[in-house]
Amino acid sequence: MASSFPRMDLTLQHNLSAVKEALTEFKRKVQDSYEELSVLELPGNYINGSIPEELGILKNLETLDLSFNLISGSIPASLSRCLKLREIRLPENLITGNIPHALGQLAILDYVDLGRNRLNGSIPAALGNCSKLKYLSFADNELTGAIPYEHGMLHQLEVLTIENNYLMSLPTSLGNCSALLGLYLNSNNLQGKFPVELQNIQNLTRLDLSGNLLSGEIPPYSSLTLERVNLTSNNLSMVGRIPDLLQLLVSQLAGARNTGMGGRLSPEIDIKLPNLQFFTASDNSITGPLLSGMRNLSNLFVLHLAGNRLTGSIHSLNLGANFSLLGVNLSDNDLSGSIEAVEIIDSHQEYLDLAKNKLVGSVQGIKVGANSSIEIFHLSNNNLTGSVDGSKFEANSSLRSLDLSKNSLPGSFARPR
């Protein structure tokens, strides 16, 4: 059958009405053969019009890829009759309307990408019946309501991305998605306490809950797999709980002691987070001291904790000892200590922002080596003193932005010799 199956050339069709006509004609001519079609891929062809209801006649269709086109209209419920469908790829179109509940009848569906369209309404609970799903994306649409509780039954789901919508709540059942590797729910209107159930997902590597309205404390976690964590722009408040904030990656806290200080851990704690690469929790209400153990984040590339109420000495970070850090933003906190404790000698750091803190000391004591990769160095709005020695920074050819404004730096700029 496959060797004699007629060819249907849709590559030059730029209107889905023409595709519909071609399918109708195709059906008429090859009634006994067309149902063998298993893959329909037309990505990036500037196709416009709506998706034909007639696609539902393709009983053996396994892959439907109409991504990166100009398709409008709604998703036809007739796709639910394609019971062999495994992949639906419709991102980067102009599709509107609701997500059909009938898609929940596709029992072997394992990949759905409806991102970057104009879909609205709620997420169908029926999709929780698609137990084979591994990838599910509704990113960049106009969806509202809650993530259905039934989605907690997707035990094979590896990636869930619903960022940039208008969702308001998370189900507690999400912690049952034990295969999740990436969870992206940023830029919604999620409210309530931080979802403690997420600590049950042992293999999670990417977590982005930024740009929501979450509040409360982040619980201790026991996963060593997390690599990227973004909690920026929420209402999180963890007095004295910076250790627990970083316990998103912790399975062991070597040397930890019960200090009886309302949840505080010893400042000498040795935090071992071997896989953490990206951590940002800026613009929250996080308080408490920085910990000396944070220097042991040996694979950390980016650390952003700006716009909180962190206290303690900048010396505890020992930034010069971490050779993997590329970027650090601790601006707009209550950090103290002498700027002379900051060393950027042979490090690979590209930017360091310590503006809007309570740092003191002479800028002449800043240690910036000629071999440093620093490009952006901001120290504005502190209590720094002394005159600026231009030769100290002139030796560093990579430096592009140096901000020492709003300090106590009298006199003129000392020119390099």
pLDDT, position 173: 94
Q: How far is CA 145 from CA 137, 291, 380, in A?
A: 16, 39, 43
93-97, 102-106, 113-117, 388-392: which range is least confident on average? 388-392
Helix (H, G, I), strand (E, B) or coil at 58: coil
Residue 161's H or E segment, with its range, is strand 159-161
Confidence of residue 268 (pLDDT cuts 50, 70, 90): very low
Whether residue 80 is predicted with pLDDT greater than 70 in this model: the reply is yes
| Global confidence as pTM | 0.69
* Per-residue pLDDT, 340: 76
236 or 122, which is more confident: 122
Mean pLDDT score of the chain: 78
The pairing of beta strand 253-254 with beta strand 270-271: antiparallel
Q: To the nearest whole percent, how much of the chain has pLDDT over 90?
A: 42
- pLDDT band with cut points at 50, 70 and 90 for residue 378: very high
Grade residue 374 by pLDDT with cuts at 50, 70 and 90: confident
Predicted confidence (pLDDT) at residue 279 exceeds the cutoff of 70 = yes
pLDDT band at residue 347, thresholds of 50, 70 and 90? Answer: low
Give the Cα separation of 43 and 70 in Å (integer): 10
Burial of 260 (0-12, 13-18, 19+ CB in 10 A): exposed
Q: What is the DSSP string of 74-131?
A: ---GGGGG-TT--EEE--SS--EEPPPGGGGG-TT--EEE--SSEEEEPPPGGGGG-T
Domain regions of the chain by residue span: 202-287, 312-417
Nearest Cα to Cα of residue 314 among 296, 291, 297: 291
pLDDT reported for residue 66: 96
Residue 244 confidence (pLDDT): 40
> Strands, E, within 267-322: which ranges?
270-271, 278-280, 287-289, 302-304, 309-311
Q: Is the dihedral of CA 159, 164, 165, 171 positive or negative?
A: positive
Give the tens place of pLDDT for each residue, 285-311: 777 776 555 555 667 788 888 888 888
Q: Which two tokens stand for residue 138?
A: 């509704």
Q: 10 Å Cβ neighbour count for 345?
A: 11
The radius of gyration of the chain from alpha carbons, rounded to an integer in Å, stands at: 27
Asked if pLDDT for residue 108 goes beyond 80, the answer is: yes
Nearest to 78 by CA among 56, 98, 61: 56
Residue 249 has pLDDT above 50, yes or no: no
Nearest to 324 by CA among 353, 350, 300, 352: 300
